[in-house]
Amino acid sequence: MEEQISKKQNSLLQLFKFANTTDRIMISIASLAAAAQGTINPIAVMTIGGLLTSIVNPNSGTTFGDELVTKAQIFAVLGGASCIATYISRALWLAVTERQVMVALKK
pTM, two decimal places? 0.73
Q: What is the DSSP string of 84-106?
A: HHHHHHHHHHHHHHHHHHHHHHH
Q: What is the pLDDT of residues 1-57, one digit of tens each?
A: 556 666 777 776 777 777 888 988 999 999 999 999 999 989 999 988 888 887 777
Domain boundaries defined on the chain: 23-106
Task: Report the run of H or E that residue 69 belongs to, with start and end.
Answer: helix 64-106
Give the number of other CB atoms < 10 A from CB of residue 89. Answer: 20
Q: What is the pLDDT of residues 80-93, one digit of tens each?
A: 999 999 999 999 99
